[in-house]
Structure 1
Amino acid sequence: MTLLRQRMLNDMQIRILADNTQKSYLIQIRSFARHFRRPPELLGPEEIRAWLVYLREERRLAPASLGATIGALRFLYRVTLKRDWSDEDFPLPRKPFRLPVVLSLEEITTFFESVASLKHRTILMTAYAAGLRVSEVVHLKVTDIDSKRMVIRVNQGKNRKDRYVMLSPRLLEILRLYWQDAHPKEWLFPGSIPGRPITRHAVGDACELARRRSGITKPVTPHSLRHAFATHLLEAGTDVRRIQLLMGHRSLSTTSRYYRPKVFMCSVESSPR
């Protein structure tokens, strides 16, 4: 490991960046340096612009992927190398606004009926019924399920924040059925490696297999189950700020994308005829 790489890693650890973010940033910087065959400390704004053009035009990366690259570059040069560069030196492409594709209640039922494995069905139903990110659901521990208070504790979710989410009676019933079958010890959903939880990729594969078996043509991912959770709560009349807390969103604007279609429909229905 080079001295600069170690310094950057230490800077990220001091700021308690998520492990996945640390790995991603180091990979991004390594690719950047290899492309120009020079150490990152010898590269500047001109190389950054050329790199972003290459990723966009040649590699055809989406704006979201470019955002991760820019985040890594900003951290390296502003934090680790302490370069006094402005945002203009790290041009961030605008992301196109797209509403999330949401499954209906009928599609949700059909989807879960198509999950053959009890373990996988329980994982995916927990992601939906509690509105969890896939990284959050795979890291649940047995002790995080509080049946007395009817809540699930999410430890160190996104942005390193703990939160509680609701535990519905139906989900508790499913979790108990799964526990009686699997008897997990530490991790609620253990993986194939002893002492480790199931991986996000394994959950994603199980989700895609169920989608194909269900015949649903919409894209279905663990994250789209989270979208469905928020939308179905909104349609049931839940306050959007409560949904924000349950989802663990830092900003209300992130949650607001779920109610834009509803607001639009209400405005159309109330307009003069």
Structure 2
Amino acid sequence: MRNWSAKIIEHGGSKRIAVYFEKNAKLIARIKCLPGAKWSQTLQVWHLPDHTANRIRFNLPQKDNGLNPDKKEVLTDFRHYLITKRYSENTIKTYTEALTSFLKYYNNKEISHINNNDVIVYQHDYILKKKLSVSFQNQIINAIKLYFGILKNNTIVVEKIYRPKQERLLPNVLSKTEIKKILEAHQNIKHKTLLSLIYSCGLRRSELINMKPRDVDSHRMVIIIRLAKGKKDRIVPLSPKILSLLRDYYKQYRPKVWLFEGIKPGSPYSAKSLQNVLKQALEKCKIQKPVTLHWLRHSYATHLLENGTDLRYIQEILGHNSSKTTEIYTHVSTKSLQNVKSPFDDL
């Protein structure tokens, strides 16, 4: 017998899933671990983002996506598979939305009759005609290969589904001078520490938001990044300057649960607020480039490489699965290029 109930509510201008249960330390600890979980003091209830994975988790009706009943059943089975495989919330959302798009295109065709040529037609007549990105196309293919790879009695040969040619885009990198201007733009110690920690440890935005005070190990001078991309833990070196900044920040703000919290104590700092902190810093130091938080991570990796750090260590620090991902920074490092003399100078 379940000891909770859930329903869709309107809260803070958006739909949320409210979860009701008797006060229980174990249940509170469990719901706190779910991404986006928040406590409403006004409503006296825990609530979560209203998306498909959470609707399935709490046995709520799923949003109508326009699919025929047989396709809806397929999508539900696929979601259950992803959940039991413990894919992240974001991956489940991405893959189910991608597969929904494909199934909707062939809404009136039986699953068992969909073949490899249908995949090609969908890419040509839908993705290319709508001028959708290579990234989106890859997400569709990932979802199709994953679903039809586990489905029996179908006419698709997964191994023959090809991917689009990858774009070879270089990461955006800022100079050390630009980085210094950005990090020194804010007088507010919380804002300064937020941006400084991302750059000094090469963090992803989500890694910073999900960090807790206990993850900072001042004795070993490392920060533990827990359940990062790919559900992997890793450690990154902790700069003495950052440790000093963190201590000053901690004394002033005394966070309760998360290292960086929002306006309400115990709630994590929002991704939107973090982006705004960067935007304000750029305005203050008059940098016109369309800088994102990920540029700080790219800049950190490139500056490490230019300082002579071995690529293997950079790979470990950034949490890359493949060394090929890390090797891209060799193409944006200017250290070697600065030693190349242009023949134009001899004219």
TM-score (norm 2): 0.70
Kindly provide the CA deviation profile for residues 105-136 of structure 1, in whole angstroms up to 9, marking residues without a partner as x.
Answer: 11001112234643333222111101111111
Alpha-carbon distance change, 184 to 54 in structure 1, aligned in 2, over 3 angstroms = farther
Q: Could you tell me whether the CA contact under 8 Å between 1:150 and 1:166 is conserved in 2?
A: yes
SS in 2 for 1:153: strand
Q: Deviations over 1:71-129 (max 9, x none)?
A: 1121121125574513433x311122122121111100111223464333322211110
Checking the alignment, whether the CA contact within 8 Å between 1:129 and 1:229 is kept in structure 2 is yes
In the alignment, is the contact (CA less than 8 A) between 2:148 and 2:158 conserved in 1? no
258-267 vs 103-112, which deviates more? 258-267
| Alignment-derived partner of residue 162 in structure 1 | 233
For 1:198 and 1:35, the matched residues in 2 are separated by 39
Residues 66/200 of structure 1: CA separation in 2 closer, same or farther (3 Å cut): farther
Greater RCO structure (CA 8 Å; 6+ sep): 1
Q: By how many angstroms is 1:200 displaced? A: 2.5
Cα separation, partners in 2 of 1:148 and 1:215, compared to 1, 3 Å: same
Task: Indicate if the aligned counterparts of 1:29 and 1:72 stay in contact, CA closer than 8 A.
Answer: yes
Q: Which deviates more from structure 2 when the two are superposed, residues 35-44 or residues 226-235?
A: 35-44
Give the aligned partner of residue 265 of structure 1. 337
Q: Alpha carbon RMSD of aligned pairs, Å?
A: 2.6
How far off its partner does 1:40 sit? 7.7
Out of 148, 160, 163, the residue aligned to residue 92 of structure 1 is 163
Contact residue 55 and residue 66 of structure 1 kept, 8 A? no
Selected match of 2:286 from 207, 215, 224: 215
> Distance between the aligned counterparts of 1:51 and 1:164, measured in 2?
43
**Shift of residue 252, structure 1, vs aligned partner:** 1.0
Question: 256, 269, 290: which is aligned to 1:185?
Answer: 256
CA distance 1:26–1:191, shift in 2 (3 Å) = farther
Pairing 1:47–2:118 present? yes
Q: Greater strand share, 1 or 2?
A: 2
Report the equivalent of 1:29. Answer: 99
1:6 corresponds in structure 2 to 76
Q: Report the alpha carbon displacement of residue 142 of structure 1 after superposing the two structures with TM.
A: 1.0
> Is the helix fraction higher in 1 or 2?
1
Contact kept, 8 Å, 2:222 with 2:237, in 1: the verdict is: yes
* 1:104/1:81 CA distance change after superposition, 3 Å: farther
Of stretches 153-162 and 255-264 in structure 1, the one that deviates more from structure 2 is 255-264
Please state whether the residue corresponding to 1:217 is helix, strand or coil: coil
- Could you say what secondary structure the match of 1:78 adopts? helix
**What SS does structure 2 have at the residue aligned with 1:191?**
coil
For residues 125 and 185 of structure 2, the distance between their equivalents in structure 1, rounded to whole angstroms, comes to 42
Which of the two has higher C-alpha Rg? Answer: 2
Q: Which runs of 5+ in 2 are unaligned?
A: 1-61, 63-71
Residue segments in structure 1 that go unaligned for 5+ positions in a row: none
CA, structure 1 residues 266+109, in 2 after alignment: closer, same or farther (shift >3 Å)?
closer
Deviation at 1:13, TM superposition (A): 2.4
Distance apart, 1:22 and its partner CA: 0.7
- Spell out structure 1 runs of 4+ moving beyond 6 A: none
Aligned-partner Cα distance in 2 for 1:166–1:15: 31
Q: 1:176 to 1:249 in 2, by over 3 A?
A: same
Q: 1:109 to 1:78 in 2, by over 3 A?
A: same
Q: Does 1:244 align with 2:290?
A: no
Alpha-carbon distance between aligned partners in 2 of 1:211 and 1:199, rounded to the nearest angstrom: 19
Task: Tell me which amino acid in the other structure corresponds to 1:85.
Answer: V
CA, structure 1 residues 257+85, in 2 after alignment: closer, same or farther (shift >3 Å)? Answer: same
Partners of 1:105 and 1:235 in 2: CA distance: 11
Q: Give % identity.
A: 32
Instruction: Give, in whole Å, the separation in 2 of the partners of 1:135 and 1:181.
Output: 23
Over 3 Å counting, the alpha-carbon distance change for 1:25 and 1:104 in structure 2 is same
> Is 2:141 the partner of 1:70?
yes
Alpha-carbon deviation of 1:47? 3.4
Structure 2 partner of 1:232: 303
Q: Which moved more, 1:134-143 or 1:25-34?
A: 25-34
Tell me how far 1:164 sits from its aligned partner.
Answer: 0.5
Q: Distance in 1 between matches of 2:126 and 2:287?
A: 33
Q: Is residue 205 of structure 2 the alignment partner of residue 134 of structure 1?
A: yes
Distance 2:110 2:280 in 1: 42
Structure 1 residues 190 and 81, CA gap change in structure 2 (3 angstroms):
farther
Q: Deviations over 1:236-271 (max 9, x none)?
A: 1111111111111111111111113448638956xx
Find the counterpart in structure 1 of residue 7 from structure 2. Answer: none
Partner Cα separation in structure 2 for residue 209 and residue 31 of structure 1: 37
Paired positions, count: 269
Q: Are residues 56 and 217 of structure 1, via their aligned partners in 2, closer, same or farther at CA, if it must alter by over 3 Å?
A: farther
* Structure 1 pair 145–55 and aligned structure 2 pair: CA distance change class (3 A): farther
Aligned to 1:58: 129
